[in-house]
Amino acid sequence: MSITFSVKGDAVTKQDFAAMAEEVKACHTALHEKTGKGNDFVGWVDWPVDYDKEEFARIKKAAEKIQKQSEVLIVIGIGGSYLGTRTALDFIKTPFYNEDKKKTTPDIYFVGNNISSAYLSDILGILGDRDFSVNVISKSGTTTEPAIAFRIFKQLLENKYGKEGAAERIYATTDRARGALKTMCNTEGYETFIIPDDIGGRFTVLTAVGMLAMAVAGVDIDKVMEGAQWAREAYSNPDIMENPCYQYAAARNFFYRNGKTVEILANYEPHMVSFGEWYKQLYAESEGKDGKGIFPVAANFSTDLHSIGQFIQEGSRYFFETVMWCKEPKSTVLVPFDAEDLDGLNFLKGKEMQFVNSKAFAGTMLAHMDGGVPNMVIEMDRMDAWHFGALVYFFEKAVGISGYMLDVNPFNQPGVEAYKKNMFALLGKPGYEDMKEELEKRLNG
């Protein structure tokens, strides 16, 4: 089991890495000794060994209870309270998890990640009369999207099972001591799991935020933590020449300083589509501030080669590509022989689809490099729980180092509040009256 990183061609040389070695070492020291910006939110660095073992055991027990008691688990959360869990299920299990009729674990649906009445109505229709439980995930309990969804499903549970019965089916992942949701948990008696004070939302997938739903889906969460533990040790060397994670962080900054301001995280497996969504939040919120940052986008090949492939090949040259490649497919499918061979594919008869996919990967990489797009590759052996934990840690550690190289605070997100203030004012929330009038004038002017 392993993860490897490489820069293809001579886009970044050993001499380039050597020139950044002292800068990277300083960023490593700032991160590990907690002297850098946002140092009160770096608890994720040692979380794979420092995690709460008692809570971890409670997560497993709660998952078993949900599995016995419910046909459906509704996960309520947005941003870091949702993306990592969705990613884990797609990566480790399958994007068709809920459609798998052979599984013995509950269906899992995600709500509270938008404000769409159509989406929520669809979920309610799919839920129907089935028995269900809820995992509501929110540090404060007042974030608009999940708070609205929780109101609806809390009421649904209480109408279906009564107030005490509902309390047996509500699991809250929230602040240790304060906030609206924590207050409700204390009053209503919901089982509570903790969002650590020193780990920001987008870094929480390896905490209870992600682990409960994973365990409900039958994921071996011990293996997830083992992968993260391996990565913590593997990527602890301050020497850039010995640390692939730091090479990735440094290469990103090398490209950025040479005019490449967009990173495309590409994959060749639909199981990794959600990973791209999780990556976008992790990197955009961590680096996009102070007028700086590499804009993260995700692409799903070979599908997107038939949409944005033309632009990647011949469009503006302001981006670089990082490809996530899995060596071992989850299953094997062979290309069959066809006597008429009208499509001209008999030369592939008997070949595994993974073989064809690998040549699409290799051919695309070479074409894009020839077109002036630098390429890097992050390669894993397989898509399983261990590799998921290791990859999560790889990307978290890399963005911490990369953010410090950009000289920003990688662990805050002040810009996220701007839209919320405007939305509250336009909705007529008490205390925003003056702002409401000003914004409405702008909208109607």
Catalytic residue numbers read 285, 420
Residue 72 is encoded by which pair of tokens? 């459906």
Residue 64 is encoded by which pair of tokens? 């078993």
Q: Which residues pair with 326 in a beta bridge?
A: 380
Cβ contacts of residue 163 below 8 Å, gap of 6+?
Answer: 188
Helix (H) or strand (E) holding 378: strand 375-380
d(CA 423, CA 427): 6
Q: Coil, strand or helix: which one is 55? A: helix
* Listed residue (180, 425, 408) closest to 293, CA to CA: 408
- CB 395, CB 244: distance < 8 Å: no
- CB 113, CB 169: distance < 8 Å: no
- Report DSSP letters for 411-423, one per residue: T--GGGHHHHHHH
d(CA 216, CA 195): 18
Rounded to 10 degrees, the C-alpha dihedral 65/68/71/74 comes to: 0
Q: Is 146 exposed, middle or buried (0-12, 13-18, 19+ CB in 10 A)?
A: buried
- CB 296, CB 283: distance < 8 Å: yes
